[in-house]
Amino acid sequence: MQETKSSSAMATEALRKVATRETNEIDKFVGERIRLYRVMLGINQQKLAKDLGVTFQQLQKYERGENRIGAGRLLMVANALGIPISFLLDEEGFSQRHADTNAADMEISQIARDAYSIGRAFSQITDPAIRRSITTLVQSLVRQTEWTEV
């Protein structure tokens, strides 16, 4: 006589299969955030990979969302980058990225490319006074934008 599995057991087995290996959009988003902050801070893949105890190829897979990154390793990434882990798990940013309209998706994509470019250039400025001036300028522009939108 053949035993039948309960629906609960079958559901648990199905979830286990899905949850173990397959990556999803959240994994890709987190990987993109890791890359964004790594580049903004001027850290190369080789150094970050060494700090995490993985190969740079493994770090590349994390950044492309090809491999899932566990909670413990994600905390190690945040610590190595010197940022709060919440920066890598920004739910609002993920929601914005998956907006319903193509126009919103294209705008967010352009913003991400611009932020990457600005962050990369900013990380190459060695004079702390210039970096502070740029930061002050950007914050001032944000405040000005907030006033004009009211």
Tens digit of pLDDT at every position of the chain (150 positions) = 444 555 566 556 655 555 556 788 888 889 988 998 888 888 899 999 999 999 999 999 999 999 999 999 999 999 998 888 888 887 655 555 544 445 555 565 677 777 877 888 888 899 999 999 999 998 898 888 777 665
**Confidence (pTM):** 0.53
- CA distances for 143 relative to 16, 130, 135, angstroms: 48, 20, 12
Residue with the two structure tokens 């413990």: 72
Helices 25-40 and 71-81, axial angle in degrees (round to 10): 20
Question: What is the pLDDT, as a whole number, of residue 107?
Answer: 63
Across the chain, mean pLDDT equals: 79
Identify the pLDDT of residue 87: 83
pLDDT for position 100: 47
- C-alpha 35/C-alpha 46 separation (Å) is 12
* Residue 39 · residue 115 · CB < 8 Å: no
Is-contact 64 31, C-beta < 8 A?
Answer: yes
Q: What is the pLDDT of residue 82?
A: 86
Q: Which amino acid is at 92?
A: E
Q: Specify the amino acid at residue 117.
A: S
